């Protein structure tokens, strides 16, 4: 029998198709899609494997179709995505339909935009509804098993929601805070108004308890004894928070709404399925409360958004993932005061953000100890080394699984930062594959130069836009450390300005002169943490 089974296994293995690629991206989420696009644009034969029917991850498949932050920092592939949404809906003003964001859209439209962007790349293949089964080393590269097919590549990119590829490849990682507690997840609901005469009341969800929702907004049922101190908005403000173009409503409400605590990062399949059922029940209970206690029975799950049996997104919004041990580690202190931090991480910057540190913990039983409100920080840059795992070669880890501390993860998890990191991952992967060199040997300055050529930002300066004549110069010189920017806060949003002081023109002239005399960006290579690589 043993010999027979061995023979059958050999036959099945021989029957498996094999396709070779330069770069394989597992996970076509926000980060993975950007990585695949950029890799293909640089000439690498690239494959994206996505487990759902849609590209976009949290932007689309999870229903978080309200972009958090970076409105003034739109650039690169993230900027292209935003521009395409604006073109679809009739301009940027048409995207300001809810008050949570300046850019809102219907998830299926976002998925269509990403499909169109990927479809325009001849070097890019996208396979959807594909789950990877196993990953193993193959020489200097990787073999990815999916279904009865094997895909072989030189460079592998982890674009999964929870860093599953990194774990499979043996990367060291940590999860959550010191006790392993992560942020709340949310099963978003995309709802719509079916009209004043409609009754879309759903069946009472399993385990529904009215008291879980009484303080979601101002209403006669409010209970001060159970309030968690959050601002209670009017029902109208609550419902307009995530209003999308076309009138649909994104229900992603952290105030006794549909946040749910479950850490499924290392859970078994059975444990994960139960957590998902519970998260859905919490979300449906929120909708049921809106329908029955707030009198909005005309609000129901949109029947023209998700091709799922229940009309809900394909998976929940994961705010937190594994965090790998990388060549660089971005910390709260590094983003709060980048120029005085012991490591010059900003010099290796490849992605930018302006969102505060924002942690969701109200759904956890011990929320009082865990809760962290918005903590404003200056605009920040993320170094390339956070995506390069220690001890594992030719693997790049993107999305929310990068090497950061638990605190600053509350700022790097947002959609714009994740898309920008994906674009940088695509550059690194294409360079390594194209030159047959290990990922670890890719020149950070070359990565930054290509990102600037592609219209992206490597520093979060607000002085100049990508089309301005001195934009690249300012970005390059700021990355040398010869000229330091000034971080500020405007309300909750971070800012960073290079041309400060009483005479910005004089400062710009000095930057031009320094660049013309020394060319420090081109001749001053740095490592993954931003340290100088020149011999002393």
Q: How confident is the model at residue 3 (pLDDT cuts 50, 70, 90)?
A: low
Q: Does residue 77 have a pLDDT over 50?
A: yes
Q: Identify the pLDDT of residue 106.
A: 98
Q: How many residues does the chain have?
A: 536
CA-closest candidate to residue 64, choices 318, 236, 261? 318
Which SS3 state, helix, strand or coil, does residue 126 take? Answer: strand
Q: How many CB atoms sit inside 10 A of residue 502's CB? A: 6
| Radius of gyration over every alpha carbon of the chain, rounded to an integer in angstroms | 24
Pull the structure tokens for residue 510: 């000095």
CA-closest candidate to residue 446, choices 384, 398, 395, 392? 384
DSSP H/E element including 453: helix 444-453
CA-closest candidate to residue 460, choices 508, 504, 412? 412
Q: Torsion over CA of 46, 49, 50 and 53, rounded to 10 degrees?
A: 90
Pull the structure tokens for residue 118: 């990927």
Q: Identify the pLDDT of residue 18.
A: 81
| pLDDT mean over 386-395 | 97
Q: Cα–Cα distance between 285 and 251 in angstroms, integer? A: 12
- Burial pattern 407-417, b for ≥16 Cβ within 10 A else e, equals bbbbbbbbbbb
Provide the strand spans (E) within 194-284.
Answer: 249-251, 259-260
pLDDT digits (tens, 9 = 90+) for 258-306: 999 999 999 999 999 999 999 999 999 999 999 999 999 999 999 999 9
Q: Identify the pLDDT of residue 534.
A: 65
Higher pLDDT, 502 or 455: 455
| pLDDT mean over 191-195 | 98
Helix pair 444-453, 415-435: axis angle to 10 deg? 120
| pLDDT mean over 516-536 | 80
Q: Identify the pLDDT of residue 72.
A: 96
- Burial pattern 288-305, b for ≥16 Cβ within 10 A else e, equals bbbbeebebbbbbbbeeb
Q: Cα–Cα distance between 420 and 506 in angstroms, integer? A: 31
Higher pLDDT, 412 or 12: 412
Phi/psi-derived region of residue 104, left when phi > 0, alpha when psi is between -120 and 50, beta in every other case: beta
Q: Does residue 5 have a pLDDT over 60?
A: no
Cα–Cα distance list, 524 to 218, 444, 476 (Å): 58, 10, 11
pLDDT digits (tens, 9 = 90+) for 29-74: 999 999 999 999 999 999 999 999 999 999 999 999 999 999 999 9
Averaged pLDDT score across all residues of the chain:
94
Pull the structure tokens for residue 311: 């009309």
| pLDDT mean over 356-369 | 93
Q: Are 213 and 304 in contact (CB under 8 A)?
A: no
Q: Does residue 452 have a pLDDT over 50?
A: yes
Q: How confident is the model at residue 536 (pLDDT cuts 50, 70, 90)?
A: very low
Q: Are 109 and 363 in contact (CB under 8 A)?
A: no
Q: Identify the pLDDT of residue 351.
A: 98
End-to-end CA distance of the chain: 66
| pLDDT mean over 512-518 | 85
| pLDDT mean over 166-182 | 96
Sequence-distant (6+) residues with CB within 8 A of 276 are 187, 264, 315, 316
Q: Torsion over CA of 278, 283, 284 and 287, rounded to 10 degrees?
A: 160
| pLDDT mean over 473-502 | 91
pLDDT digits (tens, 9 = 90+) for 418-446: 999 999 999 999 999 999 999 999 999 99
| pLDDT mean over 197-201 | 97
pLDDT digits (tens, 9 = 90+) for 127-173: 999 999 999 999 899 999 998 899 999 999 999 999 999 999 999 99
Pull the structure tokens for residue 392: 């594992």
| pLDDT mean over 20-25 | 98
CA-closest candidate to residue 282, choices 202, 201, 213? 213
User: For the whole model, what pTM was predicted?
Assistant: 0.95
β-pair partners for 193: 299
Name the percent of the chain lying above pLDDT 90: 89
Q: Cα–Cα distance between 158 and 395 in angstroms, integer? A: 7
Q: Identify the pLDDT of residue 517.
A: 81
| pLDDT mean over 315-343 | 97
Q: Are 160 and 49 in contact (CB under 8 A)?
A: no
DSSP symbol at 244: P
Location of structure tokens 């931090």: 341
Higher pLDDT, 288 or 501: 288
Q: Are 200 and 194 in contact (CB under 8 A)?
A: yes
Q: Identify the pLDDT of residue 523.
A: 64
């Amino acid at each position: 029998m043993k010999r027979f089974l061995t023979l059958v296994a050999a036959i099945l293995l021989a029957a498996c198709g094999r396709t070779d690629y330069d770069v394989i991206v597992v996970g076509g989420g926000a980060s993975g899609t950007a990585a695949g696009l950029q890799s293909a644009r640089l000439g690498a034969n690239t494959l994206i494997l996505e487990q759902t029917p849609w590209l976009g991850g949290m932007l689309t498949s999870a229903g978080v179709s309200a972009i958090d932050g970076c409105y003034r920092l739109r650039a690169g592939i993230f900027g292209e995505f935003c521009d395409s949404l604006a073109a679809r809906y009739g301009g940027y003003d048409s995207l300001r339909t809810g008050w949570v964001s300046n850019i809102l859209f219907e998830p299926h439209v976002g998925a269509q935009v990403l499909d169109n962007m990927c479809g325009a790349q001849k070097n890019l293949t996208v396979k959807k509804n594909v789950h990877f089964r196993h990953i193993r080393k193959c020489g200097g590269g990787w073999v990815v098993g999916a279904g009865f097919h094997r895909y072989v590549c030189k460079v592998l990119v982890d674009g999964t929601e929870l860093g599953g590829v990194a774990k499979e490849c043996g990367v060291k990682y940590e999860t959550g805070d010191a006790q392993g507690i992560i942020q709340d997840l949310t099963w978003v609901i995309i709802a719509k108004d079916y009209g004043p005469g409609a009754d879309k009341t759903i069946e009472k969800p399993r385990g529904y308890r009215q008291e879980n929702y009484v303080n979601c907004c101002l209403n006669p049922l409010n209970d001060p004894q159970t309030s968690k101190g959050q601002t209670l908005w009017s029902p109208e403000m609550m419902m307009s928070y995530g209003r999308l173009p076309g009138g649909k409503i994104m229900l992603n409400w952290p105030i006794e709404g549909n946040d749910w605590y479950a850490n499924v990062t290392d859970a078994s399949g059975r444990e994960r399925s139960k957590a998902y059922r519970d998260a859905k029940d919490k979300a449906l209970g929120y909708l049921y409360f809106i329908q029955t206690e707030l009198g909005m029975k005309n609000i129901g799950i949109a029947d023209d958004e998700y091709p799922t049996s229940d009309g809900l997104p394909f998976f929940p919004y994961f705010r937190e993932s594994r965090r790998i041990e990388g060549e660089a580690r971005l910390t709260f202190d590094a983003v709060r005061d980048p120029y005085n931090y012991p490591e010059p991480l900003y010099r290796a910057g490849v992605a930018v953000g302006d969102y505060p540190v924002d942690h969701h913990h109200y759904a956890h039983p011990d929320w009082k100890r865990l809760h962290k409100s918005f903590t404003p920080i200056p605009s920040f840059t993320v170094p390339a080394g956070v995506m390069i795992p220690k001890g594992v070669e030719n693997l790049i880890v993107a999305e929310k699984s990068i090497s950061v501390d638990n605190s600053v993860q509350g700022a790097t998890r947002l959609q714009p930062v994740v898309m920008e990191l994906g674009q940088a991952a695509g550059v690194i992967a294409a360079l390594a594959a194209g030159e047959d060199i290990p990922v670890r040997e890719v020149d950070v300055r070359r990565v930054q130069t290509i990102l600037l050529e592609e219209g992206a930002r490597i520093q979060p300066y607000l002085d100049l836009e990508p089309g301005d004549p001195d934009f690249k110069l300012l970005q390059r010189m700021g990355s040398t450390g010869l000229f330091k920017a000034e971080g500020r806060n405007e309300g909750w949003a971070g800012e960073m300005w290079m041309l400060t002081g009483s005479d910005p023109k004089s400062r710009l002239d000095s930057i031009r002169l320094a660049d013309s005399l020394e060319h420090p960006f081109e001749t001053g290579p740095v490592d993954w943490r931003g340290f100088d690589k020149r011999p002393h």
